[in-house]
Structure 1
Amino acid sequence: MGPTYLDLIRQGALTYKDRIALVFAEQQLSFAQVDALSSQLAHALAQLGAAPGTRVALLVNNGLYSVPIDFACVKAGINRVPLNARLSLDEHIRMLGDIGCTMLVFGADLAERAAALQAAIPALQCHGLGAKAGGGADLLELATKQPETGPNIQVQASDVVITLYTSGTTGTLKAAQHTQASYAGICRNVLLNMIAVTQDDVMLHAASLVHASGVFVLPFWLRGAKTVILPGFEPAAYLCALTEHRITAINLVPTMLQMLLDAPGFASTDVSALRQVIYGASPMPRAVINKAMQHWGQHRFWQYYGQTEVPLCIAVLRPEDHTEEFLGACGRPALDVEIRLLDSEGKEAAPGTPGEIVVRAPSAVAGYYNAAELNAETFTSDGWVHTRDIGVFDSRGYLHIKDRTSDMIITGGYNVYPREVEDALSLHPAVKECAVVGTPDEKWVEIVTAVVVLREGHAADEAELSDWVAKSLASYKKPKRVLFAADIPKTAVGKLNRKQLRDKLRT
């Protein structure tokens, strides 16, 4: 058995005591301070009744206490359930009810939402980080009276340490459970495939630490490197932070990169320290990555393909592969991940033909909480995970994602993968952003429908964009309907929300 999540936290704390671990605004904490505070918070949670194995919801925005409270939960043996603060009250209520949480830890800036949740769920205990609500404790105040060494608990590799809600774009609420072993596996996966962290590295976080951005914290902690946290993503502040903190690594979703490219100070920002621009979470428009590489250089860009169920890297597109030939691929398989492609009958897909991607890796979750039917559909007894993504390997071993099985459009008996239509559309000079879905049609069953956001000062009509796609794709793949919009719906983590778009167009 390899090291656990708890082992890795302890190892980083022991090795790098006096180094700066976290920076937020004008505040910073050393490794020793994070270790002590997280231990005190762990004791405080235990004093409030959170025994090992207890599910505790965290409603915490990016801030100085984001990492200490996460580590505290691990040290207390708690199964933490992060809630994205951008979700609605109804979504939070549904999640808390689904997972059965009776304790919530909230950030001081989210006290109003915590109060609303307690009003809706009277049995919910709400404890703040620098705040109080509904008779609950201020954890930071309570922590000052606790020991600076962690609770003496024994953990097993199979203990669930974090339950992450992921609905993807299907609309089905899923609670993916990571264990002590699988979270340590994620750390190894990142270090092995994505970033060789050194003590001199500094990573900037503006995306929510609840999601993929937070995955990088433990590898940096383990190597004595620095984590710089912003409260959110604002292009001007982000560009300033790159220079001020001599940032060496960043993780972006495509929407964020597009916003940086459009920011006034982008071209003049000093990025001489920046070594890695890591991106993933959703497909990157070709026009965006090409422009970014023109400014920052091909040598900095790394793409990963992964899922909440198997983070972070299932496949990686390295800088040397960021060429015209391979930009449409998501990379080669990660070194610690097995990948198979299955046809519609569950058999190995023939070479060169698309199939559902199924994977097996040490970083895979232990299943979904309280979802027997979904678990049976997604996980096999010998460790394989059905991703519901359609992919194909080319002759050189690069994996190309065609689309989600649920997103595929069947028009006149032909299969159309929205992503390849989006890739073609995004190369048109007038197209800033686009999304492609299938909408009902009496003749064709479904038709290819594109929603397009135009660049400021540019113009294009339906016929022009449809013909543009037909130049590079089969005629049945070109949009039969093009709608123009001011924006395109996204999920809480910035991914294209096809389900919401489909539902909107079908009403």
Structure 2
Amino acid sequence: MDSTIPDNYPALVERAAAAFGDTEAIRDGDMSMTYTELAHRTAECAAALVANGLEPGDAVGLWAPNAWEWVIAAMGTLRAGGVIVPVNTRFRGREAAYVLDRARAKLLFTVVGFLGYDYVRDLEAAAAEGHTVDSLERTVILRGDTPPGTTSFEDFVTAATAEGHEEAARRAAAAAGDDLGLVMFTSGTTGLPKGVMIRPGAIIRGFSQYADELGMRQGDRMLVINPFFHAFGFCGSITPCIVRGATILPHPVFDVEAVLARIESERITVLPGPPAIFQSMVNFAGLDDYDTSSLRSAVTGAATVPVETVVAMRERLGFETAITAFGMTETHGIATICSAGDPPELVASTSGKALRGIELRVVDDDGRDVPVGEPGELLVRGYCVTSGYLDDPAQTAKTIDSDGWLHTGDICVMNDLGYIDITDRKKDMYINGGFNVYPAEVENVMSEHPLIGQVAVVGVPDERLGEAGAAFVVPSPAGAPDADELRAWCREQMANYKVPRYFWNVEALPLNPSNKVLKTELRDWAADRLA
């Protein structure tokens, strides 16, 4: 990594202000700020957090869509010595409450009115059902109306004092790359979200190389569709922009026409995103009505990428550089990446090779290395591997062995160049539109429905989103649930990407001799029904 790039965010923001001062840092609607202004607003937010009693190591929840305020709140939290806890904007109250309570969040930055949701009311409703966040002392509204008991972001930052600025500056000066900077929650096979402990230095190091491979430079303009709460958004978008002096253009909800219009009007040069975004763009009938000539660099991942898509990204959208990468929350968002000059066939058929300083192994079920070209589980070791799961040493030991190898649960094939092709997953997790869905979590919630006796969920292929959920339901003695009513109920209980697409009532689930559900057989059942 460039020795001039700090390993922590307070110093990174200060470096950006000094190096890129008048360069536009963020443009969000009519709001624009330079890197000098970004540093100033970050300092104001940090001082306000100190004035409101935030101590080093305290957790701060961020439950909001992509917006300039999200960036300021995040950078302010880190400058004040706090720990960011990003919350999925699609979560409902009970899901968000679990994450915030588990992390012992002291303060919450959120919004009211995004996609018709009132997150404050959602949390209140969850609390009434027993899902409380006892650690939470203050809620700050970044955008929208301020319900009773909350504070607007504008009023919140006025609490900054000279003493608060001095204390935040002291904490910033003491910040280090190995500090706990974020806790990003990812659901597990147990059905309960796990808090992955994230170090700022690992993010900055990995995504500095990512910015190099993308050819990012000062003055670039990145449209950020990837949610900021996701590693692809915070780590893979905000971070490389601050490293290189590029403009962050938050985009809260993907709509192909709106994105194409912004590419044209905002002269976007860099665009990260899952394959579905690029496939939607190249397949859009009105694509030729928009000027995409400003586009130069793209990176995609999180799902299989057809060769035709990579070729179309270059030929139809005009990208000079179109690459793929692989990462997971447990690797700070990145572990492998393609090079800018790699041919489309290599980009489409692999997820790149290991970052500098990262080791990869492909092993069989007994932990022995498999020959090149043979499938096995991908293991990762190096600076990108998380230090573990929050307050969960047992799960940490299951995932990261005594030699420091992270067992990803992904099945891959490595070629003789060291490039990996992710072919399958050992775990049941599937990816819906770039979001990880863990069947056990969905099954646990669905089991609360009075008409469900047993339920098992599997992922099935979906042309648009990569994979969708299929739920096999054994009805309870009270009767069989109606598919449409069950779908509507699920939408009230969980984030919409977790809601299965298909619901099928069955007499019994297939079991093995140990009485475990045979998910492989269920996938065959689903294939027969969909055929």
TM-score (norm 1): 0.77
Contact preservation (8 Å) 1:52, 1:77 = yes
* Change in CA separation of 1:407 and 1:83 when aligned onto 2, cut-off 3 Å: closer
* Change in CA separation of 1:358 and 1:449 when aligned onto 2, cut-off 3 Å: closer
> Within 5 Å, which residues of 2 pair with 1:315-394?
315-318=336-339, 320-324=341-345, 327-394=348-415
> Within 5 Å, which residues of 2 pair with 1:224-373?
224-296=245-317, 299-318=320-339, 320-324=341-345, 327-373=348-394
Contact preservation (8 Å) 1:253, 1:494 = no
1:117 aligned to which of 106, 120, 123: 123
CA distance in 1, matches of 2:406, 2:206: 15
* Change in CA separation of 1:136 and 1:369 when aligned onto 2, cut-off 3 Å: same
Deviation at 1:293? 4.1
- Paired position in structure 2 for 1:92: 96
* Change in CA separation of 1:9 and 1:364 when aligned onto 2, cut-off 3 Å: farther
- 1:240-277: CA deviation from partner (whole Å, max 9, x where unpaired): 11111211100111222222233333233222221112
- Paired position in structure 2 for 1:129: 142
* Change in CA separation of 1:210 and 1:10 when aligned onto 2, cut-off 3 Å: same
Deviation at 1:372? 1.6
- 1:199 matches 2:218: yes
Q: Counterpart of 1:44 in 2: which secondary structure?
A: helix
- 1:66 matches 2:66: no
Structure 1, unaligned stretches of length 5 or more?
Answer: 409-417, 420-434, 438-447, 456-486
1:160 aligned to which of 174, 177, 180: 180
* Change in CA separation of 1:67 and 1:284 when aligned onto 2, cut-off 3 Å: same
**Counterpart residue identity of residue 139, structure 2:** C
* Change in CA separation of 1:143 and 1:297 when aligned onto 2, cut-off 3 Å: closer
Deviation at 1:166? 1.5
CA distance in 2, matches of 1:260, 1:237: 11
* Change in CA separation of 1:326 and 1:234 when aligned onto 2, cut-off 3 Å: closer
**Counterpart residue identity of residue 370, structure 2:** A
- 1:176 matches 2:196: yes
Tell which deviates more after alignment, 172-181 or 144-153.
144-153
Contact preservation (8 Å) 1:23, 1:29 = yes
CA distance in 2, matches of 1:52, 1:332: 37
Contact preservation (8 Å) 1:203, 1:228 = yes
Deviation at 1:493? 10
- Paired position in structure 2 for 1:473: none
TM-score (norm 2): 0.73
- 1:217 matches 2:238: yes
* Change in CA separation of 1:137 and 1:495 when aligned onto 2, cut-off 3 Å: closer
Contact preservation (8 Å) 2:8, 2:201 = yes
**Counterpart residue identity of residue 205, structure 1:** V
Contact preservation (8 Å) 2:330, 2:386 = yes
Contact preservation (8 Å) 1:301, 1:322 = no
Deviation at 1:499? 12
- 1:305-352: CA deviation from partner (whole Å, max 9, x where unpaired): 111111443222345434446632222222232111122112222333
1:185 aligned to which of 195, 205, 208: 205
* Change in CA separation of 1:285 and 1:334 when aligned onto 2, cut-off 3 Å: same
Structure 2, unaligned stretches of length 5 or more?
Answer: 432-436, 440-457, 466-486, 505-518
Deviation at 1:454? 9.5
Q: Counterpart of 1:360 in 2: which secondary structure?
A: strand
CA distance in 2, matches of 1:294, 1:17: 35
* Change in CA separation of 1:258 and 1:15 when aligned onto 2, cut-off 3 Å: same
* Change in CA separation of 1:263 and 1:346 when aligned onto 2, cut-off 3 Å: same
CA distance in 2, matches of 1:270, 1:495: 35
- Paired position in structure 1 for 2:34: 30
CA distance in 2, matches of 1:313, 1:102: 29
**Counterpart residue identity of residue 169, structure 2:** P
Q: Counterpart of 2:181 in 1: which secondary structure?
A: strand
